[in-house]
Structure 1
Amino acid sequence: MEHTESFSLDKEICFHLAEDREHHQGAVVPPIYQNSVFIHKSHESIAQSENDLPNHYLYSRGVNPTVEIAEKKLAALERGEACRCFSSGMAAITAILISSLKSGDHVLCISNIYFSTIDFLNYMAKFGVEHSVVYSPSPDDIEKEIRPNTRVIYIESPTDMNFRLIDLRAVAKTAKAGNIRTIIDNSWATPLFQKPLTMGIDVVVHSASKYLGGHSDLLGGAVIASKEIITELFSKELIMMGAVLGPHEASLLIRGLRTLPVRMKEHQQNGLKVASFLESHPAVEKVNYPGLASHPDYQLGCKQMTGYTGLMSFQLKQETYEAVRNVINKMKVFKIGVSWGSFESLIWSPNLGNNANQLKKEHVSPGSIRIAVGLEDAAALIRDLEQALG
């Protein structure tokens, strides 16, 4: 019953929250405020705006009415106090990391995370910021890797490529005891299927280019947290660095949120069907999908998630670059490409033929193939996989 009520509230947020249709002449779709500048009636008015930028329209690098609608929806969906949107997922991630860290600090990454996030943390070394990775999802193993200078624990759950789940409540409890900020990339689950802030996590980031947008026509990112964290982020990393979401992109995000509840049900249904097929195929060694009862973290998922999406990976029994290449090149319905979370089904592998050592370091099988199960007919997707694997 609790999940049903939460999903109903989420639908209401996606469809109607913050749209104020009477104010916009009854427009069922919010207008795009494409302007960069907002004029004022008096010097006193503009002075008030400049002294309180987060709450006034002055210049679209700060607050824009179209972007603001998307931010209010995302904050409400995540059960957070406030949200700020950025021009890409990486813009959101780098902004909150910079906001959270100073020279001499340490970031603990839990298991596999997005490679561009790791690239940025490597880059931060020039400013005296360290990071390390603990590949075990065990709360005890995670706690052992915390250092005296650890200031951020960075999480993806499910993790990248291997799709292990992290016990968010346990990590949040450990982090709070050490005054450590927790940040999670919640792009995989979306706010519909996982709400980390309600489990004690401090900050949620999203790549809005994925399920939130849902149509492969949007680059965007978001940070959701307490008003205190978001206010500091706005006045420094957002305003000064300027990687803001444009009003046109915000309108695409609002459009994507309208269909998010419907799309996610279909992604889940298709994902479960495809994962079950792969699990039974003789050419497949393992399927990494937390919606399967055979997944090592399935019971944890039942406690902290309310659904599953369409992104997963599987490992071929023949763990070679040639085997991976042959399967991918045979696909017809699945298209070869990076990213995920939109209507189309995509296939990709981290095995590039020249990175065996890197895969080993990251505990990723060289026979790994990642698929993003889209909204096509599940039977057609299964037939496509069957012919490619066969």
Structure 2
Amino acid sequence: MHLSEILMHLGEDRHNYFNAVSPPVMQTSNFAFDSLDDFRQAIAQEAQQPVYSRGVNPTVAILRKKLAALEHAEDALVFGSGMAAISAAILAHCKADGHVVCVAKPYSWTHSILVNYLPRFGVSHTFVDGTGPEQIEAAIQSNTTLLYLESPNSMTFELQDLEACAAIAKKHGIPTCIDNSYASPVFQNPIDFDIDMVVHSGTKYLNGHSDVVFGVLCGSYETIGRVFAGEYMTLGGILSPHDASLVIRGLRTLELRMQRTHESALEIARQLEGHPAAGKVLHPWLPSFPQYELARRQMTGAGGLFSFYLDADTFGQAERFFEGLERFLLAVSWGGHESLVMPATAFYGVPGREDSTTPWNLVRLYIGLEDPAWLWEGLEKGFQYMRG
């Protein structure tokens, strides 16, 4: 199916709502039935039929269809956050005394559910350098029930060879799940490489306007049906109809936004590579990136997120860069219209928390939809202030 068809028309049965171009927001918690037989039939098909909006809501159902198609999946579920989607995917594939293999340096809250939550129920884990498939295979145990990937990750952007990982997992009878938030379905479709499940923090590129927090899990009808009947309905981490409508609106420009942010970020990353105040630049689309060839083989773009190291002698000098920096908002997350900066230094000296293990001179940039030349002027302000 063509990308334009998915983003602009799929799932939108306009003749059902007065031929309105934009789908209505079905802001209702409940649905009524004309007869007991209709009621029974709907309950029997609650994964497909509106009964109660914790299960199926018509506005949310349109979004599900679009997201499944974007990821070349059979079906999808949407959640109230990316972490709700990740948690549902992991919990659905865990059992007592089981084991999860996860790539090293995943999203911090993915790390948390594996380290702080699942061990309460006897589920162990192994974090493994996923840059070599042989390392992943070596980590698999007889009780392993899930291989969890994140390619690239969202700080230093290590990739996994998705086709090789899928082959290893299938040889051992283990399902695979990947966080595809970095690349978006515009630039990477893991299911095409035989990965079983795809999750997103849809808060990022999919929504794209920094006004909705949501997540998505994509997979086969069988997988999604099982998660719907289990973790989705039981834990209730759902997305509201109103927020679903905002995401549908955001999807209209997904392809345009992804191309713009990819081109602008690559332009700035190339400029940073030659800058005397910047050290190594970590961007999968630069030939200097260690896994450049793999990135080009399984991705068609890299979006707006990348990192670089400041050529700073002291922690204080690094902090001066951010004091002088202009035109970037100091914030977490990415994927919206606005450009952001997240300094590693922000995670040092936080009351009640241990200092980060990320090098203090690492800087993560997200390049939004602004003019890259205008953004570069803001970066130069930071470099000038850092050098004094």
TM-score normalised per structure 2: 0.95
- Structure 2 distance, partners of 1:240, 1:183, is 21
Q: Hey, what does 1:216 align to over in structure 2?
A: 210
Write the deviation string for residues 251-270 of structure 1: whole angstroms up to 9, x where unpaired.
01101110101111100111
* Alpha-carbon contact 1:324-1:369 (below 8 Å) kept: no
Separation in structure 2 between the aligned mates of residue 218 and residue 246 of structure 1, nearest angstrom: 10
* Structure 2 equivalent of residue 297 of structure 1: 291
8 Å Cα contact 1:323-1:367 kept in structure 2: no
Report the more deviating stretch, 193-202 or 104-113. 104-113
Structure 1 unaligned residues grouped into runs of 5+: 1-5
Paired residues of 2:154 and 2:305 also in contact (CA < 8 A):
no
**Displacement of 1:95:** 0.9
Partners of 1:163 and 1:289 within 8 A in 2: yes
Paired residues of 1:78 and 1:197 also in contact (CA < 8 A): yes
2:234 maps to what in 1? 240
Kindly state the Cα deviation for residue 11 of structure 1 after the two structures are TM-superposed: 2.1
Equivalent pair of 1:324/1:349 in contact (CA under 8 Å) = no
Percent pairwise identity: 43
Moved beyond 3 Å, runs of 4+: 354-360
Q: CA deviation at 1:148?
A: 2.0
1:266-345 → structure 2 map (5 Å cutoff): 266-318=260-312, 320-345=314-339
What letter is aligned with 1:139? P
Is residue 367 of structure 1 aligned with residue 368 of structure 2? Answer: no
Return the alpha-carbon distance in structure 1 between the equivalents of residues 320 and 340 of structure 2.
Answer: 16
For residues 353 and 239 of structure 1, the distance between their equivalents in structure 2, rounded to whole angstroms, comes to: 39
1:65 to 54, 58, 66: 58
Of 118, 141, 144, the residue aligned with 2:138 is 144
Aligned counterpart, 2:222: 228
TM-score normalised by the chain length of structure 1:
0.94
After superposition, give the CA deviation of every residue in 1:280-334 in whole Å (9 maximum; x if it has no partner): 1112111111011111111111111111200011112226432332212222200
Question: 1:55 is paired with a residue of what secondary structure?
Answer: coil
Q: Separation in 2 of the partners of 1:154 and 1:279? A: 32
What number of residue pairs does the alignment pair up? 380
Q: 1:172 to 1:40 in 2, by over 3 A?
A: same
Q: Deviations over 1:197-254 (max 9, x none)?
A: 0101110001111000000000111000011100000001111111111100100110
* Residue 101 (str. 1) matches residue 94 (str. 2): yes
Kept in 1: contact 2:42–2:50 (CA 8 A): yes
Aligned to 1:3: none
Q: Indicate which of 32, 47, 68 corresponds to 2:25.
A: 32
1:13-58 deviation per Cα after TM superposition (whole angstroms, max 9, x unaligned) = 1111111112211110000000111111011111111122112111
Are the counterparts in 2 of residues 71 and 83 from structure 1 also a CA contact under 8 Å?
yes
Does residue 14 (structure 1) correspond to residue 7 (structure 2)? The answer is: yes
Determine if contact 2:60/2:245 at 8 Å carries over to the other structure: yes
Instruction: From 43, 51, 65, give the equivalent of 2:36.
Output: 43
Q: 1:112: which partner in 2?
A: 105
Q: Does 1:182 align with 2:166?
A: no
Larger mean CA deviation between 48-57 and 338-347 belongs to 48-57
Aligned partner (choices 348, 351, 356) of residue 353 of structure 1: 348
Distance across 1 between alignment mates of 2:210 and 2:243: 12
CA contact (8 A) 2:325 2:380 kept: no
Post-superposition offset of 1:358 = 6.0
Contact 1:107 1:153 in 2 (8 A): yes
In structure 2, which of residues 58, 76, 79 is the aligned counterpart of residue 86 of structure 1? 79
CA contact (8 A) 2:348 2:354 kept: no
Once residues 315 and 124 of structure 2 are traced to their aligned partners in structure 1, the CA distance between those partners, rounded to angstroms, is 33
How far residue 145 of structure 1 moved from its aligned partner, in angstroms, is 1.9
Deviation string 1:334-367 (CA, Å, 9 cap, x unpaired) is 010111100000101233224898644xxx3321
Distance in 2, Cα, partners of 1:203 & 1:329: 42
Determine if contact 2:153/2:182 at 8 Å carries over to the other structure: no
- Mapped to 2, the partners of 1:198 and 1:46 lie a distance apart of 39
Counterpart of 2:112, as a letter, is D
